[in-house]
């Protein structure tokens, strides 16, 4: 069953087309009326003009009747068909009164046939072509056999007609009628099909646009679009809620007059809007309409047309207030947990030396006579307390790092010299240094880097209890996501570290060595972090370990990192 809306749409289209048909009919009638008027000015007109005036008057009168009927009937197809058949009759009368077989107006049959093809259907146009052929053929037969009185025509020189010529004339005109009917109906069908497809696409596009607008309006994130002049084009409901301003208040304003003026990079983009701008994100604080500062995270993306032409900028942003509060609470909880862990570790580390010192004092009190061994124990445990509390202070409140240019080769050579003196002669350690260049400079604090290298080297030596080899390597690296680095790698031949231990070796007070404080590697990591670097561990159980310290290269090293392998 055909949908009611579709029927009303087709009826409305047919009504418009019928009005066009009536208008064209009036136009043709007035053209004939004007032509007849010009001929009437001549002293001896070539044909009788009265029938032309009568036919023109009939066409005008019928047009008025058609307009009245169009507003009072719902049978539009029947009304259209009636008009076209009456037009064929009027054309037949016109051909008869303008010469019949020799009339110049036989081609006018084509117009009703074409109108039927466009407004009705192929079947109707073929029927009309057949009716036109019959009427035209009948008119010619009556004229040839003298069964009707021919009006005075345009061609007065001959009163006899060759039947073969008449048959040829009939064949040519009838063939023309049917060809026009076929081609016109075909084109009309294609046109109607295209119109239906365009209407369907228009409806789909309208639905898609409505869906798009609904999605944009109802997402919780703020969405703002700007044209190349920097003016706000759209401002969704989420953006209104975050900024605290309505779309009417902010639309068509320059970004400099809105809270988005705090966004970095917009001035550069809109000063040269034809320049390419890659997508980028940033976090910033903006002020809403009442002056309150709101942290937001915004992602800016160039807005391009279907042909790739830059047409503006789109920004998607979120209110980060709750996230910032959650992060603050998590940081506070993490600090409290770390403080509790460190307090427990410190209490554990301090308790053992205090217990030993207390035991020695009790023995001295009981025996009454001091013994050198007991004093040695007291001094050793007091020194241990000093080491633990000193390392704890270094971790809790490290010395601010200085940003200087450091020669890593010199620092590594000094560290190796100190480590060689701390080795046990019964289990020798072989040291080696590998350099990519004689001088490799990094940004950092030389004193803190020495301490970090000492801690890492001492940790490696203590891991190789039966001796081994400790290799230092200084290299340049380019990491995929973090840029250029210079690195110091310490590789030992010890027993290695299990994956479970690798995850915990930098935790405060975690140690696998008897007598260790568990703060050496923790302090080393904090030193490297304060210098803006990174520390990585590559190890497996039974296969040795490598500690890689990554540092930012000094300005003079940046060009040298070009072309280095990527990690």
Kindly report the average pLDDT of the chain as a whole number: 77
How high is the pLDDT of residue 148?
57
What is the domain partition of the chain in residue ranges? 4-200, 220-319, 324-396, 404-561
Question: pLDDT tens digits, residue range 499-516?
Answer: 878 777 777 766 766 656
Domain 404-561 has CATH 3.30.565.10: yes
Beta strands in 128-238 (DSSP E): 222-227, 232-235
Task: Work out the percent of the chain whose per-residue pLDDT is above 90.
Answer: 2
Q: What is the pLDDT of residues 225-264, one digit of tens each?
A: 888 888 888 888 888 888 888 888 888 888 888 888 888 7
Q: How far apart are CA 433 and CA 411, in angstroms?
A: 11
Report the alpha-carbon angle 441-447-449, nearest 5.
Answer: 55
- Can you give the pLDDT at residue 348? 57
CA separation for the pair 436, 489 (Å, rounded): 12
Reported pTM: 0.42
Residues 494-503 pLDDT 10s: 888 888 787 7
Residue pair 283/323 in contact (Cβ under 8 Å)? The answer is no
Q: Which fold has domain 220-319?
A: Beta-Lactamase (3.30.450)
Residue 232 forms beta bridges with which residues?
A: 226
Which range is least confidently modeled, 41-45, 264-268, 394-398, 402-406? 394-398
pLDDT digits (tens, 9 = 90+) for 382-403: 776 776 666 566 665 656 667 7
DSSP 8-state class, residue 507: S
**pLDDT over 50 at 58, yes or no:** yes
- CA–CA dist 330, 531 (Å, integer): 25
Least confident range from 34-48, 61-75, 465-479, 512-526: namely: 34-48
Between 123 and 55, the more confident residue is: 123
Half-sphere exposure of 126 (CA within 13 A, CB side): 7
- pLDDT score for 338: 65
H or E segment at 286? strand 280-287
- Residue 151 confidence (pLDDT): 44
Q: Which CATH number fits domain 324-396: 3.40.50.2300, 2.60.40.10, 3.50.30.30, 1.10.287.130?
A: 1.10.287.130
Counting Cα atoms < 13 Å in the Cβ hemisphere of 244 gives 11
Q: β-strands 468-479, 429-435: how paired?
A: parallel
Return the pLDDT at 472: 92
In degrees rounded to 5, what are phi and psi of residue 246? -80, 165
pLDDT of residue 349 exceeding 80, the answer is no
In the β-sheet with 429-435, what is the strand arrangement from edge to edge? 429-435, 468-479, 483-492, 545-551, 534-539
Distance of alpha carbon 126 from alpha carbon 367, whole angstroms = 136
**C-alpha Rg value of the chain to the nearest Å:** 50
Residue 560 · residue 499 · CB < 8 Å: no
Q: What is the pLDDT of residues 446-473, one digit of tens each?
A: 888 888 888 888 888 888 878 888 899 9
Mean per-residue pLDDT, 40-44: 65
Please give the span between the terminal C-alpha atoms of the chain, in angstroms, as a whole number: 68
Cβ distance 395 to 523 under 8 Å? yes
The pLDDT-based confidence of 4 (bands split at 50, 70, 90) is: very low
Within a 10 A sphere around the Cβ of 351, how many other Cβ atoms?
A: 10
Please, which residues bridge with residue 491 across strands? Answer: 471, 546
pLDDT at 111 over 80: yes
The DSSP symbol for 533 reads -
At residue 291, the 3 state secondary structure works out as: coil
Phi-psi region of 342 (alpha: psi -120 to 50; beta: other; left: phi over 0): alpha
- Between the CA of residue 284 and those of 219, 293, 318, 477, what are the distances in Å? 21, 10, 11, 32
């Amino acid at each position: 069953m055909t949908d009611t809306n579709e029927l009303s749409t087709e009826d409305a289209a047919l009504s418009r087309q019928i009005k066009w048909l009536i208008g064209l009919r009036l136009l043709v009638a007035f053209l004939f009326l004007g032509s007849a008027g010009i001929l009437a000015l001549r002293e001896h007109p070539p044909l009788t003009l009265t029938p032309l005036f009568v036919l023109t008057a009939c066409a005008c009168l019928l047009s008025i009747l058609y307009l009245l009927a169009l507003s009072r009937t719902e049978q539009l197809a029947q009304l259209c068909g009636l008009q076209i058949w009456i037009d064929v009759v009027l054309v037949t009368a016109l051909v008869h009164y303008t010469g019949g077989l020799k009339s110049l107006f036989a081609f006018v049959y084509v117009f009703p046939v074409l109108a039927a093809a466009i407004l009705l259907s192929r079947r109707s146009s073929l029927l009309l072509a057949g009716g036109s052929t019959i009427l035209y053929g009948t008119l010619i037969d009556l004229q040839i056999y003298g069964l009707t009185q021919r009006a005075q025509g345009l061609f007065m020189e001959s009163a006899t007609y060759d039947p073969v010529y008449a048959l040829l004339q009939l064949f040519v005109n009838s063939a023309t009628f049917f060809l026009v009917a076929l081609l016109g109906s075909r084109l009309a069908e294609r046109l109607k099909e295209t119109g239906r497809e365009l209407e369907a696409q228009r409806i789909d596009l309208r639905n898609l646009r409505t869906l798009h607008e609904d999605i944009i309006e109802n997402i919780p994130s703020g969405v703002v679009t700007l044209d190349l002049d920097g003016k706000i084009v759209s401002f969704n409901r989420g953006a209104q809620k975050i900024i605290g301003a309505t779309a009417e208040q902010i639309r068509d304003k320059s970004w400099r007059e809105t809270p988005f003026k705090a966004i970095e990079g917009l001035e550069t983009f809109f000063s040269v809007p034809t320049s390419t701008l890659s997508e980028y994100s940033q976090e910033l604080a903006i002020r809403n309409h009442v002056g309150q500062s709101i942290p937001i995270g915004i992602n800016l993306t160039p807005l391009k047309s279907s042909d790739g032409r830059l047409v503006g900028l789109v920004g998607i942003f979120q209110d980060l207030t709750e996230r910032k509060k959650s992060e603050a609470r998590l940081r506070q909880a993490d600090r409290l947990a770390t403080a509790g862990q460190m307090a427990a570790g410190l209490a554990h580390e301090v308790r053992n030396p205090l217990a030993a010192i207390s035991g020695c004092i009790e023995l001295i009190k009981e025996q009454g006579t001091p013994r050198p061994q007991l004093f040695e124990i007291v001094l050793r445990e007091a020194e241990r307390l000093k080491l633990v509390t000193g390392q704890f202070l270094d971790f809790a409140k490290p010395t601010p790092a200085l940003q200087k240019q450091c020669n890593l080769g010199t620092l590594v050579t000094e560290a190796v010299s100190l480590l060689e003196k701390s080795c046990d002669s019964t289990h020798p350690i072989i040291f080696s240094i590998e350099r990519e260049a004689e001088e490799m400079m990094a940004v950092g604090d030389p004193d803190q880097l020495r301490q970090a290298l000492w801690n890492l080297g001492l940790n490696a030596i203590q891991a190789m209890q039966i001796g081994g080899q400790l290799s230092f390597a200084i290299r340049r690296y380019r990491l995929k996501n973090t840029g250029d680095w210079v690195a110091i790698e310490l590789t030992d031949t010890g027993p290695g570290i299990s994956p479970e231990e690798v995850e915990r070796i930098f935790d405060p007070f975690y140690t696998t060595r008897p007598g260790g404080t568990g703060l050496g590697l923790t302090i080393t990591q904090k030193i490297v972090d304060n210098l803006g670097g990174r520390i990585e561990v590559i190890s497996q159980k039974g296969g040795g370990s490598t500690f890689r310290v990554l540092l930012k290269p000094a300005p003079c090293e940046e060009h040298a990192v070009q072309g280095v392998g990527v990690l």
